Amino acid sequence: MNSNFKEEKQIVRDFYARLDSARGAGIPAVLEAFTSPDYLWRGFHPFNEITSARDVAESFWTPLRGALTSMQRRMDVFMAGQNTIAEQGGVWVVSMGHLMGLFDQSWLGISPTGKIAMLRYCEFHRVENGKITETAMYFDIPHIMVQAGLQPFQTQTAAHLVQPGPMTHDGLMFEQQNPAAGLKTLAVIEAMIRDLGQWDSGLGLEDELRRTWRENMIWWGPEGIGATYTIERYAKQHSGPFRATLSNRSKTSHIARLAEGNFGGFFGWPNFTATPSGGFMGMPATDTPGEFRVIDIYRRDGDKLAENWIFIDLLHFWNMQGVDILGRATGIHAVRETGAKGVRYD
C-alpha cells in the first residue's frame, strides 16, 4: 500500500497553485485540467452536489474569487492518507485553513464590506490516476455573514473567532510522515467514534470524553455554535446541549476517514441525522429529521485528542426544517434545487 502519497499531494498542490493564480475565464480551464470527466463536487448549502468541473468553477469559484479580491489560501493543515472506509477506498488529500481576501463584491446576497474577510474551509480530494475525481469542499458561510455585520443565528452556546491552526504549527505535512504515528492517530479517532456513536456510553459525558480527549482539549466549532476549551466547558457549552436538544440521532456514517502523522479526520454526506426537540441553537422543536454534513479534523497529542476543527452545514440542516437562514439574513431566497447549474436566486 502506498505510504508516502507524494504524487497525490503534488497534484493537489499544483492544482492550488494554478487555481489560486487563475483569473476570470481561466478558472474553469484549471478545474477541467485537474479533474476527471466524472468529477463529483460536494459543497455546503446552497451549492450541494455538482457533477461538472466547469459548473463548479462557474457557480462557486468564479463568484467567490470575484467577491473576495486578491484572495490568499492560508493553509493550516495539509495531509493525505488511504481511506479506511473500505467500501469507498482511495487516496484522499486534505487541506484546511482560510480563504482570505478583500470583500469587495456581493456573494450569495451578502453585502461587501471592502475589508478583509476570511472564509473557513476544509477540502477532501480523492486522487486517482493523476486526476481529482471527488471533492468535499466544506466552508463556513455563516461566519463570513457575521464578518459582514449580519446575524444569521439568534444565539450560540460557545464563542466563535477567526480560528487559528494547530497550536503545534506542524499541520502542513508536505513530506512523508511516520506511518506508525498516523496509525496511532487513527486508532484514537476510531475509539472516539465508537464512544460517540453510542450517544450515551453510560459513563457520564465528561468521563466518556476523558477516554479519548485531553483535559485541555479545544473544539473549534462553526459559527452558530462556536469554539470551546477544556472537557468541562465543552460538555457544558456544546456536547451536553447538543445531546439534550436533538432526538432520534442516527449512527454516524463517513465517506472518507484517514490520518497522517498526528492529524486525522473524516467527512460524511451526511454524517448522521437528528430531529430538533427544542432549544438547539435557540430554535423551536420540529418533527423533521435533519442531515448533519460534517468535516472533523483532529490533532493528537500523545495517546489522546487535543484539538478538533469542525465544519457543519448548518444552513442545510435548518433549510430542511423550513428555515432559510441565508435568505432570512440577506433578503434573497436561494432556489433549493441547484443541480448541475449551480446556485440561482429568485
Overall average pLDDT of the 90-103 stretch: 98
Q: Is the peptide bond before 284 cis (omega within 30 degrees of 0)?
A: no
Do 146 and 202 reside in the same domain of the chain? no
Quick check: 343 pLDDT over 60?
A: no
HSE at residue 52, side-chain half, CA atoms within 13 A, is 10
Overall average pLDDT of the 253-264 stretch: 97
- Is residue 80 in some structural domain? yes
Residue 334 is predicted with a pLDDT of 52
Q: In which band, very low, low, confident or very high, does the pLDDT at 335 lie, cut at 50, 70 and 90?
A: very low
Question: Would you state the cell numbers that stand for residue 225, as one nine-digit string?
Answer: 455554535
Name the residue range of residue 92's domain: 6-150+329-341
Query: What CATH number does the domain containing 192 carry?
Result: 3.10.450.50
Do 198 and 272 reside in the same domain of the chain? yes
- Is residue 173 in some structural domain? no
The Cα 39–Cα 136 span in angstroms is 11
- Pairing status of strand 131-139 against strand 35-43: parallel
Do 81 and 67 reside in the same domain of the chain? yes
Residue 6 is predicted with a pLDDT of 97
Do 243 and 289 reside in the same domain of the chain? yes
Q: Is the dihedral of CA 44, 47, 53, 58 positive or negative?
A: negative
From 72, 51, 67, 63, select the one nearest 27 (Cα to Cα).
63
Do 136 and 12 reside in the same domain of the chain? yes
The Cα 295–Cα 43 span in angstroms is 11
- Is residue 165 in some structural domain? no
- Is residue 164 in some structural domain? no
- Is residue 116 in some structural domain? yes
- Is residue 163 in some structural domain? no
- Is residue 283 in some structural domain? yes
Q: In which band, very low, low, confident or very high, does the pLDDT at 202 lie, cut at 50, 70 and 90?
A: low
Residue 337 is predicted with a pLDDT of 39
Residue 195 is predicted with a pLDDT of 84
Residue 278 is predicted with a pLDDT of 87
Q: Of 87-101, 189-203, 311-325, which gets the smallest average pLDDT?
A: 189-203
Residue 333 is predicted with a pLDDT of 62
Q: Is the dihedral of CA 195, 123, 141, 297 positive or negative?
A: positive
Question: Which helix (H) or strand (E) segment is 297 a member of?
Answer: strand 294-301
Do 220 and 314 reside in the same domain of the chain? yes
Quick check: 304 pLDDT over 80?
A: yes
Residue 256 is predicted with a pLDDT of 98
Question: Would you state the cell numbers that stand for residue 213, as one nine-digit string?
Answer: 480527549
Q: Mean pLDDT over all residues of the chain?
A: 92
Overall average pLDDT of the 324-331 stretch: 93
Overall average pLDDT of the 176-192 stretch: 96
Residue 339 is predicted with a pLDDT of 44
Do 241 and 141 reside in the same domain of the chain? no
Do 127 and 221 reside in the same domain of the chain? no
**CA 37 to chain CA mean position, Å:** 25
Overall average pLDDT of the 174-195 stretch: 95
Quick check: 2 pLDDT over 60?
A: no
Angle at 304 between CA 298 and CA 309, to 5 degrees: 20
Overall average pLDDT of the 268-284 stretch: 92
CB 78 within 8 A of CB 298: no
Do 109 and 53 reside in the same domain of the chain? yes
- Is residue 171 in some structural domain? no
Residue 338 is predicted with a pLDDT of 46
Q: How many domains does the chain have?
A: 2
Do 124 and 187 reside in the same domain of the chain? no
Do 255 and 337 reside in the same domain of the chain? no
pTM given for the model: 0.93
pLDDT in tens, 112-149: 999 999 999 999 999 999 999 999 999 999 999 999 99
Compute the radius of gyration of the chain from its Cα atoms. 19
Quick check: 199 pLDDT over 70?
A: no
Overall average pLDDT of the 330-336 stretch: 65
Q: Of 3-7, 31-35, 107-111, 140-144, which gets the smallest average pLDDT?
A: 3-7
Q: In which band, very low, low, confident or very high, does the pLDDT at 86 lie, cut at 50, 70 and 90?
A: confident
Place of cell 463536487: 41
Quick check: 244 pLDDT over 80?
A: yes
pLDDT in tens, 15-63: 999 999 999 999 999 999 999 999 999 999 999 999 999 999 999 999 9
Do 318 and 188 reside in the same domain of the chain? yes
